[in-house]
């Protein structure tokens, strides 16, 4: 897997986690994580170091727009905008070995 793609996935996982920890539904279940989110912010700062500035800027911009900067591709479909990706893209054997974006919505994509 491309190292920047790997870092973007880790960053997204962390962002989802931070968001979810703050949701009332999660807190209702009974996990006590009050005041601990700063630890995840620290981990986030470490991951960011592995991502080139222009890629990170794009990720943050996309996150603002779509609530996510990277989306999985399942069955050839981008799970952010649900558009079908061109066959030429989906049939590439090394598709997770490079950094690609959805031609429709622009989010970074990862083939699950």
- Binding footprint of other proteins on the chain (CB under 8 A): 1, 6, 9-10, 12-14, 16-17, 20-21, 25-26, 28-33, 36-37, 39-40, 43, 68, 70-72, 74, 79, 110, 112
Strand partners, 72: 110
**Least Å from the CB of residue 61 to other proteins:** 18
Q: What is the largest CA-CA distance in the chain?
A: 47
Closest separation between CB of residue 83 and other proteins, Å? Answer: 16
Joined together, the tokens standing for residue 11 give 């960053």
Give start and end residues of each alpha helix (H) in the chain. 3-21, 24-29, 37-48, 53-66, 87-90
- Is 89 or 111 the residue whose CB approaches other proteins more closely? 111
């Amino acid at each position: 897997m491309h190292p920047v793609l790997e870092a973007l996935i880790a960053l997204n996982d962390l962002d989802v986690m931070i968001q979810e920890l703050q949701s009332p539904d999660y807190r209702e279940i009974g996990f006590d994580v009050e005041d601990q989110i700063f630890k995840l912010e620290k981990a986030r700062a470490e991951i960011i170091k592995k991502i080139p500035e222009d890629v990170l800027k794009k990720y943050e911009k996309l996150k603002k727009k779509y609530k996510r900067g990277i989306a999985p591709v399942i069955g050839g479909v981008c799970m952010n905008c649900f558009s079908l990706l061109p066959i030429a893209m989906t049939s590439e054997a090394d598709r997770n070995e490079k950094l690609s974006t959805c031609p429709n919505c622009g989010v970074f994509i990862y083939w699950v």
